[in-house]
Copies of this chain bind each other. A is one copy, B any other.
Amino acid sequence: MRRIKLVLQYDGTNYSGWQRQTNALTIQEELEKALELITNKKIETFGSSRTDAGVHALGQTVHFDDDGTFPVLKYVSALNSTLPDEIGVLSAVEVDPKFHARFDPVKKWYRYHIYCGKPKPIFKSRTSAHLLYPLDLDAMREAAQHLIGKHDFTSFKSLTEENKEQDGVRTLFDIEIKRGGEMVLVDIWGDGFLYKMVRGLVGTLVEVGRGKETSDWAKKALEAKDRRKAGKNMPAEGLFLMQVFYKKC
């Protein structure tokens, strides 16, 4: 038994997220199909993050076990020529058999893309949210200061049947907001994220940035521990899982 760690990028537009599902096409299914095609074995994969439908990745991290016969150095090219155009493998390395893509991350980095302006961005429509109003980045940065740190982020957790009882305490290490042309980028680093938490955080910052709420309101929204008190979730297309950090490797 040999454990392999992959770093994956994908355009998630046409996929129902990372995780295998019965009636929908997912990234995990495509990856496992490609692995079976090149190794002739059924291989189960474990992803660091269950990215949602339509969410993209530049650094999704995945591990799986193989029987050691397929050359590690060939995984990248073999998978890239087998996977659809929207999914690519950046690297494949052998790791300690105790390494776990999902349970071992110490930090994750997400980036949210917001295109503010006209005309509507035809070639960015799959990879950014489009707002017709301008954003005050300084106000957003002020609001972000209230969110950084160790908090109960229940106000930013979208409820599902499964996560009702899930503890909401997470640590946000940093939030950076910058502009490049018409594009506003919101970078968020944390030790972990609740279901749709990043999209709720950005939606809350946008309410402040557009002047509908003050930066103090973000603090109150956080402290309310009530999903209805914070901003709406931003759409999936603007969100990228950028990088997953592990203690070793």
Listed in ascending order, the chain A residues whose CB lies under 8 Å from chain B are: 9-11, 56, 76, 80, 85-90, 118-120, 122-123, 125-127
Contacts and interface: CB of A to CB of B under 8 A. Distances in A.
Contact of A123 (B11, B90, B118): B11
Main secondary structure of the interface of A (DSSP, over half): mixed
Nearest to A13: B126
A125 B123 CA distance: 12
Contacts of A86: 122, 125
Nearest to A127: B123
A225 to B, nearest CB: 36
Contacts of A90: 119
Contacts of A126: 85
Contacts of A125: 11, 85-86
B11 A122 contact: yes
Nearest to A91: B119
Among the interface residues A9, A80, A120, which one has the most CB atoms of the partner chain B within 10 A? A120
B119 A87 contact: no
